[in-house]
Amino acid sequence: MFLLPGLLLYVALFVFPTLTGLFYSFTDWDGVSPSYAFVGLDNYKDSLSSIVFRKAFGNNVEFMLTVVIAQTFISLVLALLLVRNTKIRIALRALYFLPAILSSVSVGLIWAFMYDPSIGLINYGLNEAGMGSIAHNWIGDPKIAIYSIAAVQVWAHAGQMMIVFIAGLQGIPAELYEAARMDGGSKWQVFRTVTWPLLAPSATIVVAYTTIQSFKAFDLIFTMTDGGPNYATEILTTYIYHTAFGSYSFGLASAGSMIFLVLLALLTLLQFKALRADRVSY
């Protein structure tokens, strides 16, 4: 009985909408008409053959790899530097965590202004520093726009993932470090043989969470570029939104959502198996 309220919420807010989306993915429903026709697997075939869908998927993979690698590395370095509980380090933890409590829309608007090629703070700073040659239209150039937004995603969430790594580091027994040092291990050897293996559960959480967030970065990309220029920053979630509310093809958008759900589940499962968090023992 104690589990029932949570179970009802889960069914109402997740299971039922998912099954409804699955149902509509086999129809040509436009989101408005009371009637619709069943089209079988046509929506799935159209999605997988769509150039825009494949472009969005490719962008999503690039965005995900960039964010996962950069965010995991930066958050781990910050955690190693700030793991000790001193007043200064605790204050720095709070400072680095601060962007995580801001709304993604606010972050997107702030950074869109900073990236502005004419009046943005970044190009202004480069010009003032005598490096105007590398000033750029950071989110207007199709070649680098997705990476510019990835940098914003890392800035916003690296501090949040730092806290996960700090919790993992503080859970490692000090005796293991003492034994490794007594055996003559260097700092790198201690990190490689003691710290990193025992951080596997924390790393699993960080990588899985970062992957999911990178695939769901709809609000950030919608605010900054709306998938442009020329679909250079279109990802699966913005593709689904534009398909549903741009062309009113809710059946096609539902099929895209189901493909997105399966891809994300498979990717997360592969990550868990690759990191082998369940094989790590203390």
Question: CATH no. for residue 112?
Answer: 1.10.3720.10
Alpha-carbon distance of 244 to 109, in angstroms, equals 24
Max Cα–Cα distance, the chain, nearest Å? 75
Has residue 3 been placed in a domain?
no
Query: What confidence score (pLDDT) does residue 278 get?
Result: 47
Helix, strand, coil percent content, the chain, rounded in steps of 5? 75, 0, 25
Has residue 82 been placed in a domain?
yes
What residues of the chain score a pLDDT lower than 70?
275-282
Has residue 42 been placed in a domain?
no
Query: What confidence score (pLDDT) does residue 46 get?
Result: 95
Has residue 251 been placed in a domain?
yes
Query: What confidence score (pLDDT) does residue 275 get?
Result: 66
Closest CA to 233 of 130, 152, 134: 152
Helix (H, G, I), strand (E, B) or coil at 27: strand
Domain that holds residue 81: 62-279
Query: What confidence score (pLDDT) does residue 276 get?
Result: 63
Could you tell me if 132 and 126 are in contact, meaning their C-beta atoms sit under 8 angstroms apart? yes
Has residue 238 been placed in a domain?
yes
CB burial string 112-150: b at 16+ within 10 A, e below: bebbbeeebebbeebeeeeeeeeebbbbbeeebbbbbbb
Peptide bond into 99 cis (omega under 30): no
The CB density around residue 197, as the number of other CB atoms within 10 Å, is 14
Which pair of structure tokens corresponds to residue 75?
Answer: 């958050």
Query: What confidence score (pLDDT) does residue 187 get?
Result: 86
Beta strands in the chain (DSSP E): none
